[in-house]
Structure 1
Amino acid sequence: MVRLFCFLAFLAVAYGRHELYEGHQLFKISGPAPEIQILDGKLDLLSTRVQVEGRLQALVRLSPEVRASWLQYFEEREISYNMVVENLAEAFRQEDAQVQAAKAAAAAKRTDRTIGWDTYYRHQEINNHLDELASRYSNVLTVVNGGQSYEGRQIKVVRISTTGFQDTTKPVIIIDAMVHSREWVTTPVALYIINQLVVDTVDRQLIEDIDWVIIPVANPDGYEYTHETDRLWRKTRSRNHTGSDQCPGIDGNRNFDHYWGTVAANAEPCSIIYEGPEAFSESEIRLIRDVVQENIGRAAMYISLHSYGNMFLYAWGNNGSVPDNGDDLQHMGDTMATAIDALALNKSTPYVVGNAAQVLYFTTGTSRDWTRAAGVPITYTLELPGYEYNFEVPPTYVDQVVKETWAGIVAGAHLVRSAGFSVFVRLEVMIIALGLVLWNSRI
């Protein structure tokens, strides 16, 4: 009787919180790239796909109130469309049921760890798990309370090193996840990387020769909000800007100080790509900035985990040009993509590697571009698989996503630790240091 009551209570909450999307539909659209690109910020582009012969694909959400007018708009501009989800609220209710069922099954069979790769966990559960790992593996893993979110949640930073970050000859790899709060599958990938490095230690060289910094939940406020109120919430939950009472939060991946403030569409607070009142206005994004800057002398690679689209995207997103080390970016991306594709499901789209603006569309204020400009030689936005489920990757697929992505991370990490790449990194650092000296001499 108690279990029945709890299940009914869960259903009541689930049905109530998804009413926001009752009758909303998802449409897959395809059209000339410029026509699709200008929709960013005007519509909720839940995903975009690679340009093919000048055409770009995207997934958009349309409410009943605006559906007819937008479909007419598409027809007038030669944008094809077809509906892929008839009622978004019902899709979210099904996702809730799957997550809860998977969590109950996992709890019944798992005894050796608090988190597995079979469902999704809440922010506090994840933090508890990280603290437990820090206690059990204190010789190689340290969990730092990196800072607090706008609503006061603790953001954990995981540092993995066999030498306590004291060996300055070792390169550093930095990974963050959950900058966009609706992209649930990103955090399990970050947690699995930690597990493979420290718990199972499947490749000792990866921690003997490399130091790692991983932020599994960069936007905890938004993440909790997706569980409690709005499954499609993307931004932070801050209220530091004009208009925040009606439209709180900013897009964390538009808040970095790289061509920030140069696109008018990013300045609208109610837009899902709102860049914020100033660069690094968000405590969550300042934390990522600080982690990168603390390790800038040794940081060899930075990856920001996102979902979805099966892509490794590199700079520069603001103008479509490629950094001086574009060949290295392409080569490493291809290497990681090949490793992932070798383990991918047959229905999964092969990974695409390329310049973000050329593959998709122009963007400013992204972590990928800012970290590259700051001096990290290899930086990517990594878009994980969504299959036919978009952001709602069912718990049954989490194990597949984390394992195939880990294969890509391993391939990239071994390139980082290779002698040739290490020389390249040291040259990059020397050039950056020289540039800073010359710049300071002018002041």
Structure 2
Amino acid sequence: MTRLVICVLLCASAVLGGHEKYEGHQLYRVSGANADIAALEAHLDLLSMTPAARTTSGKLEAVVRLSPEEKAQWLSLFDSKSMTYTKIADNLADILREEEASIQMSRATVKRSGKSMSWDTYYRHDEINDYLDELAATYPELVTVINAGLSYEGRQIKYVRISTTRFENLRKPVIVIDAMVHAREWVTTPVAMYIINQLVVDIVDRSLTEYIDWIIIPLANPDGYEYSIDEDRMWRKTRSKNHEGADECPGVDGNRNFDHYWGTSPSSADPCSIIYEGPSAFSEPEIRIIRSAVLSNLERTALYISLHSYGNMFLYAWGNNATLPANGLILHLAGIRMATAIDELALDKADRYVVGNAAQVLYFTTGTSRDWTRAVGIPLTYTLELPGYEYNFLVPPSYVKQIVTETWAGIAEGAKYVLSTW
């Protein structure tokens, strides 16, 4: 009887969280030429990309969400373009309810355990900020919390600087990592927090803390993140309303808002598009905070990684065309080293990581942090797409520990590469 009551309460909470808006929404895996898949992104919610190198068809695949109202139209278009498709989920709302139930159970367990931070659940924005402050108070010689600014809705965005020399030794390389630019990619923040933990609390390789300065932004888009928890689990963008059409379609895709070929992609110009680039480059206060963090130590920043979910990929520049930066081979080799370290710890069922040029592996994109950071002079810059397994970016809490552990191995390998070449 108790179990039944718990189930009823959890399901009721999920409905209140807005999952009912996705009743009857189905997920399809669609396969086609890169350009055809790319053309869908301006109109549909593409939940994932699978590179052609990993598919049996030899073509790029995407998982798309179709509402009951638009299903017939889009399936007909797929047929007309000879794009093959397979239905993989009947009702997205049911999937979201199951996820929320598992998260509430995991949080109840963590609360009983008394831990201040666990790797088997998800935390709210205020909890993340409180933990960062706790670390700075406990390890003042190593951790500095930067109150970087406010989000559009007024939430404090904090990040940490980790340094044994308080960033005063200008001969040390800097590594910058950000997470949660896309609100629904919840697993990215635990990865960033675990990296902080491994550098500060459970130090396993002191050279990575001793000889490298770190800037880590664990929750770059708090407005979108909180909205994805309380209102719409599928929300991806910021929550700003500074653009024309914002009343109907608020928010900007933070990873299209950087000033690298911004404004050159018509598919990103529609405010109602999930990849809307914003009214101007760096229009979003959240993205300006990342810009400031990057530029604060640009001359000695050696590695930049933006954590995203999902797809098991290390993607490097350029995304706006299929050419490579002058250090393209080095980017590839360093990416391989990081990917190999992750793959060695991965679950047997996990896809192996793909490393490559973003435009060649997927399709053309503009305004990304990966390309902007490479353009302003950081030699090694990547978009790291974390694993999703069969859950896409709706990663259950039970998988968080595995993902944070294996990803740290890759980050540590990247840091060692930086030290060997600095």
**TM-score scaled by structure 1?**
0.92
Which residue does the alignment assign to 2:290? 288
| 1:362-441 to 2 correspondences below 5 Å | 362-418=364-420, 421-422=421-422
Q: State whether residues 32 and 54 of structure 1, in contact with CA within 8 Å, keep that contact through their aligned partners in structure 2.
A: no
CA distance in 1 between partners of 2:384 and 2:298 (Å): 20
**Superposed displacement of residue 346, structure 1:** 0.7
CA distance in 2 between partners of 1:400 and 1:188 (Å): 11
| 1:270-349 to 2 correspondences below 5 Å | 270-349=272-351
Q: Secondary structure at the match of 2:168?
A: coil
One of 351, 354, 378 as aligned partner of 2:353:
351
1:100 equivalent to 2:101? Answer no
**Superposed displacement of residue 297, structure 1:** 1.1
| 1:99-248 to 2 correspondences below 5 Å | 99-109=103-113, 111=114, 113-248=115-250
CA distance in 1 between partners of 2:302 and 2:110 (Å): 37
RMSD in angstroms over aligned alpha carbons? Answer: 1.5
**Superposed displacement of residue 8, structure 1:** 5.0
Return 5+ residue gaps in structure 1 as ranges: 423-443
Q: 1:29 to 1:4 in 2, by over 3 A?
A: closer
- Letter of the 2:75 counterpart: L
- Letter of the 1:15 counterpart: V
Which residue does the alignment assign to 2:49? 48
Q: State whether residues 337 and 353 of structure 1, in contact with CA within 8 Å, keep that contact through their aligned partners in structure 2.
A: yes
Residues 308-355 of structure 1 deviation map (CA, whole Å, 9 limit, x = unaligned): 000000000001110000111001000000000000011100000000
Which residue does the alignment assign to 1:83? 87
Return 5+ residue gaps in structure 2 as ranges: none
CA distance in 1 between partners of 2:178 and 2:363 (Å): 22
- Letter of the 2:85 counterpart: Y
- Letter of the 2:19 counterpart: H
Which residue does the alignment assign to 2:36? 35
Residues 260-287 of structure 1 deviation map (CA, whole Å, 9 limit, x = unaligned): 0001111100000000000000000000
- Letter of the 2:317 counterpart: A
**Superposed displacement of residue 3, structure 1:** 11
User: What percent identity do the matched residue pairs reach?
Assistant: 63
Q: State whether residues 31 and 57 of structure 1, in contact with CA within 8 Å, keep that contact through their aligned partners in structure 2.
A: yes
**Superposed displacement of residue 103, structure 1:** 1.0
Residues 416-438 of structure 1 deviation map (CA, whole Å, 9 limit, x = unaligned): 011xx21xxxxxxxxxxxxxxxx
Which residue does the alignment assign to 1:440? none
Q: State whether residues 144 and 159 of structure 1, in contact with CA within 8 Å, keep that contact through their aligned partners in structure 2.
A: yes
- Letter of the 1:188 counterpart: P
CA distance in 1 between partners of 2:6 and 2:83 (Å): 46
Q: Secondary structure at the match of 2:390?
A: coil
Q: Secondary structure at the match of 1:290?
A: helix
User: Size of the alignment, in residue pairs?
Assistant: 418
Residues 166-201 of structure 1 deviation map (CA, whole Å, 9 limit, x = unaligned): 000000000000000000000000000000000011
Q: State whether residues 181 and 234 of structure 1, in contact with CA within 8 Å, keep that contact through their aligned partners in structure 2.
A: yes
Q: Secondary structure at the match of 2:112?
A: helix
CA distance in 1 between partners of 2:2 and 2:165 (Å): 51
- Which stretch has the larger CA shift, 208-217 or 29-38? 29-38
CA distance in 1 between partners of 2:7 and 2:48 (Å): 33
Q: Secondary structure at the match of 2:146?
A: strand
- Letter of the 1:82 counterpart: T
**Superposed displacement of residue 4, structure 1:** 9.1
Q: Secondary structure at the match of 2:324?
A: coil
